[in-house]
Structure 1
Amino acid sequence: MHNLQVSNMTLLLSGLLVLIALLLSYRQRIGLEKDMIIGVIRAVIQLFIVGYVLKYLFRVNNVWLTLAMLLVIIINAAWNTKKRADHISHAFEISLLAIFASTGVTLGVLVISGSIKFIPAQMIPITGMIASNTMVAIGLCYRNMNQSFADQRQQVLEKLALGADLHLASLSLIKAAIKTGMSPTIDSAKTVGLVSLPGMMSGLIFAGVDPLRAIQYQIMVTFMLMSATSIGSVIACYLGYRSFYNDQKQLL
């Protein structure tokens, strides 16, 4: 087994790769230099903080502290999703419910089936993967609904004029938003192993785990992300579309 060794010097040298991105942005006048620098600095600080927190949680192995950390992850994911919901009222509450439900159902099945154990070393990373992917999916759903209700305003008004209720008038837009939200997960599932070696699989292989064993874990991850993004997208879209109408059931 070959252990991956990363020292401060290797991190510093690998950080030179960021200079390539900065140089390209500068030479092409893209204007992303400031965002790149801030992003890199934030990533380093946040990861070191999280690393120390996780080290403590793994050592303590306390159920309540583990649950608290899972809740922090879910709330943070919902808060970030809210930023993508321009015209959707109660976006934070909707996102929180959607991410909580999708994460809870998926984790529940994994724990009951024995796929993972209720210990912080397994629950926290898996929750982060589920919540982050659901966050991205819901953000895409919100963006698609905002655009669709603007572009297809006339079609929706015609359906309402013909007697359709809000759900029926919005159904095609809801379905399109759900499809958009789930597309990255579906596309990833189609190309996994052929184009990409995802994080879970690559990390295990780096750690020296047998590739066939790593593949089993990656299949589990694929299943759980498909479940989580579908549950989260459906809940978010069906609760969020009413924000485009007023109390008199008129399109805003």
Structure 2
Amino acid sequence: MERNQTVGMYAAVNGIDWSKAWEDFTKGMLRPVMALAVVAVAIGVSYSQKLGIEKEMAYSIARAFLQLSIIGFVLEFIFTQTSGLWILLAYCLMVSVAGYTAGKRAKHVPNAGYVSGASILGGTGLTMALLIGLQVFPFTPRYIIPVAGMMVGNAMTVTGVTLKRMREDMRLQQGLIETALALGATPRQAALKQVRRALIVGLSPVLDNAKTVGLISLPGAMTGLIMGGASPMEAIQLQIVVMNMLLGAATFSGVLATYFSWPFFFTKTYQLETKVFAVAD
């Protein structure tokens, strides 16, 4: 009896009964495991079509299972904490991973990882500050961490695509840019068209998603609320807020990426840094 009570006390750390949490987790994994049948069919199709990506499919879904399972327990712990430091820690971790991932996409841009990380931090941080300042969301882990995750993920994609496209367009049109520089244009003026084109390409998926939301697809936040028992009107109201913040964070991050990467494309004497464009994407 005493031993069971002791075990229970140690299990309920920081307000969480971890033994019960693990039991609920294992029971709840039944449906996700059953849904693997869809992946099995996809792997079978890949094999029959000789695509050669069966191992990658299996690895990807296994990694997703592991990552989501771990983050589930991490969030279970963070949601019980009252200190805002846990929110900031989780946010900084997300930004770091996103910056690294976006930097890998734009691998030929010098210091792409740092540029991406700083851009994502600035863009999503500004958006988050506005949302909290306007009291759209309270500063609690249950609200801020999921919201930050959506914004950071979206900004990561936009930043990576923008940097990659900007460098490639500038590489293909070096002659035009150098001519403009020779005629007295500043680096910003000489490459303005390439920068604008890169931003438009990077933001296009976000804009298309905003224009078609509700008509073609029901986004994850809205679907999750409806499946969780919320009314469709409540789900729609939240989704509108989500679309606003995603568009804002993506735009801020994309624009910051162009400014932060600027010094690496030009020399101090206002000439193109040719070694940056030596390799094609």
The answer to whether the superposition gives a TM-score over 0.5 is yes
After superposing the two structures, state which structure 1 stretch, 14-23 or 213-222, moved more.
14-23
Structure 1 gaps, min length 5 = 1-5
Q: CA deviation at 1:78?
A: 0.9
Structure 1 distance, partners of 2:189, 2:123, is 25
Counterpart for residue 220 of structure 1:
241
d(CA) in 2 for partners of 1:152, 1:20: 45
**1:144 has 2:133 as partner:** no
CA contact (8 A) 1:145 1:241 kept: no
Equivalent residue for 1:22, pick from 1, 19, 43: 43
Amino acid at match of 2:53: L
Residue 67 of structure 1 aligns with which residue?
88
Q: Which residue of 1 aligns with 2:179?
A: 158
Change over 3 Å in CA distance of 1:24–1:143 after alignment to 2: farther
The match for 1:56 among 77, 80, 90 is 77
2:128 match: 107
Q: Which residue of 2 aligns with 1:133?
A: 154
Find the counterpart in structure 1 of residue 224 from structure 2.
Answer: 203
2:13 maps to none
Range with bigger deviation, 126-135 or 174-183: 174-183
Match of 1:175 among 192, 196, 201: 196
2:118 to 81, 97, 101: 97
CA distance in 2, matches of 1:12, 1:91: 38
Aligned identity (percent) is 34
| Deviation larger for 238-247 or 216-225 | 238-247
Compare 156-165 and 168-177 and name the one that shifted more.
156-165
- Secondary structure of 2:105's aligned partner: coil
> What corresponds to 2:34 in structure 1?
13
Rate the CA distance shift 1:36–1:24 in 2: closer, same or farther, 3 A: same
Equivalent position of 1:3 in the other structure? none
| CA distance in structure 1 between the aligned counterparts of 2:126 and 2:28, rounded to whole angstroms | 39
Instruction: Report the alpha carbon displacement of residue 161 of structure 1 after superposing the two structures with TM.
Output: 2.6
Distance 1:32 1:146, change over 3 A: farther
Letter in 1 for 2:137: I
Preserved CA contact (<8 Å) 1:98 1:236: yes
Contact 2:116 2:160 (C-alpha < 8 Å) held by counterparts: no
For structure 2, the residue ranges without an aligned partner over 5 or more in a row are: 1-26, 275-281
Query: Residue 124 in 1 paired to residue 154 in 2?
Result: no
Show the counterpart of 1:250.
Answer: 271
Letter matched to residue 104 of structure 1: G
Residue 190 of structure 1 aligns with which residue?
211
Calculate the TM-score normalised by the size of structure 1. Answer: 0.93
Bigger relative contact order (CA 8 A; separation at least 6) = 1
* TM-score where L is the length of structure 2: 0.84
SS in 1 for 2:80: helix
Distance 1:45 1:144 in 2: 33
Q: How far 1:93 sits from its partner (Å)?
A: 2.2
1:109 is displaced (CA, Å) by 1.3
How many residues align? The count is 247
Give distance in 2, aligned partners of 1:238 and 1:112.
Answer: 26
Amino acid at match of 2:155: T
- Residues 57 and 65, structure 1, Cα contact 8 Å, conserved in 2: yes
Give, in angstroms, the shift of residue 247 of structure 1: 4.0
Contact 1:87-1:244 within 8 A present in 2 as well? no
RMSD: 1.5
Shift of 1:248: 4.0
Q: Answer whether contact 2:169 2:194 (CA < 8 A) is retained.
A: yes
Q: Deviations over 1:22-65 (max 9, x none)?
A: 12222222222122111111111110110000000111232111
